[in-house]
């Protein structure tokens, strides 16, 4: 029986992915900044551990407590929507600490055990913003695009040790906590000079033609974890799949 460690399982795509792997018989280590027992089914194969991917001591403790794992899913992430000019550098650094350096730190923490065992898979959850440039998402896109390049390159050296590295690229899900899980207000990131530009974009955001469901991401992570064909990118959700065809 295999074991998967997933970051950011308190809600959204991470929670759905934890449920999916549990339902398919895996041992699941669901990690959260603030552990909650009530969101996942009661199962012997489930462990919930505290983990903040921006904190090296928290990463070391979670990896130590986890024991051997077969798969790591770097799902934890935060967003920012707004005019780049108005986005505080402090917040941009925070985005990168979670979405980019957090992913790298987690990956570095599991490589030694994967390399020794000559097996393992790292799945990094990025975004459909990496498929086609989208407006008012420059800083967020940069944080995810970095992980696209990182993962593609890393897959080569890890492949030498029979370790796989994959990307799951979800589209937009209005149903997760993503839009609310931020310390900045969108209104503060759209200065008056950008109001005319931003208004139709926010109208379009409010009525998306296609969206992504949590289960789409869970299923894409499942495919990525089990893929041995060398495929790198797994778009997830109807909107992301359509964009990946257009890209």
Per CB under 6 A, which region of 65-73, 174-182, 199-207, 222-230 contacts ligand NAP?
A: 174-182
Q: Which of 17, 87, 127, 141 binds ligand NAP (CB under 6 A)?
A: 127
Of 49-57, 64-72, 82-90, 224-232, the window that binds ligand NAP (rule: CB under 6 A) is 49-57
Q: Which stretch binds ligand NAP (CB under 6 A): 107-115, 124-132, 155-163, 193-201?
A: 124-132
Q: Which of 120, 124, 121, 119 is nearest to 103 (CA)?
A: 124
Determine if 120 is a binding residue for ligand NAP (CB under 6 A): no
Is 194 known to be catalytic? no
Which of 34/229 has CB closer to ligand NAP?
34
Q: Is 177 in the site for ligand NAP (CB under 6 A)?
A: yes
Q: Catalog residues that contact ligand NAP under the rule CB under 6 A.
A: 7-8, 10-14, 32-34, 51-54, 75-79, 98, 102, 125, 127-128, 170, 172-173, 176-178, 181
Which positions are catalytic? 140
């Amino acid at each position: 029986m295999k074991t998967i460690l997933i970051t950011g399982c308190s809600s959204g795509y991470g929670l759905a992915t934890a449920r999916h792997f549990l339902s398919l018989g895996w041992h699941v280590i669901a990690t959260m900044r603030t552990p909650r027992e009530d969101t996942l089914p009661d199962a012997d194969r489930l462990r919930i551990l505290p983990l903040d991917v921006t904190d090296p001591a928290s990463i070391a403790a979670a990896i130590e407590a986890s024991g051997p794992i077969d798969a790591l899913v770097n799902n934890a992430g935060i967003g920012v929507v707004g005019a780049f000019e108005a986005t505080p550098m402090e917040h941009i650094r925070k985005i990168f600490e979670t979405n980019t350096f957090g992913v790298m730190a987690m990956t570095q923490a599991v490589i030694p055990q994967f390399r020794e065992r000559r097996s393992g898979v790292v799945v990094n959850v990025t975004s459909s913003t990496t498929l086609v440039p989208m407006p008012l998402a420059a800083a967020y896109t940069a944080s995810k695009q970095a992980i696209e390049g990182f993962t593609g390159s890393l897959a080569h050296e890890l492949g030498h040790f029979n370790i796989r590295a994959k990307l799951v690229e979800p589209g937009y899900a209005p149903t997760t906590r993503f839009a609310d899980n931020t310390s900045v207000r969108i209104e503060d990131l759209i200065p008056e000079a950008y109001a005319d530009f931003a208004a139709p974009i926010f109208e379009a955001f409010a009525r998306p033609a296609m969206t992504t469901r949590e289960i789409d991401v869970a299923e894409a992570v499942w495919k990525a974890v089990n893929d041995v064909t060398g495929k790198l990118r797994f778009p997830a959700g109807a909107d992301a799949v359509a964009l990946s065809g257009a890209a």
